[in-house]
Amino acid sequence: MQEKSYLVEREVWVENRLGIHARPASQILNLARQFEAEILLEKDGSVANARELLSVLALDCPQGTRLVVRAKGADARDAAHAMVQLFARKFGET
């Protein structure tokens, strides 16, 4: 039986001081791996797959960047929610 698939979009802001550098990018990746849903991060038309560390880094997101989280799949809602939380926690940084 085909599971129901959702498409969820959420806006997030990069609030930590150093932006999405290596550590936040690793956290994004590790979080994305916990979900079935495909999770994309979009910045001004450029898109990175949250599971791809280097693409996420190359998106170039310093502090103050606005991103759209786009999750697609059975657990898209949970995935998008978790991603929003991670950004809101500033990746545990300042």
Q: Give me the active site residues, please.
A: 21
Query: Which of 7/58 has CB closer to another protein?
Result: 58
Q: Locate 88 and state its tokens.
A: 């809101």
Q: Choose which of 7, 13, 17, 47 interacts with another protein (CB under 8 A).
A: 17
Tally Cβ neighbours within 10 Å of residue 11.
10
Phi, psi of 33 (to 5 degrees): -65, -20
Q: C-beta of 48: minimal distance to another protein in Å?
A: 10
Q: Are 61 and 14 in contact (CB under 8 A)?
A: yes
Binding site for another protein (CB under 8 A): 17-23, 26, 29, 49, 51-55, 57-58, 60-62, 94
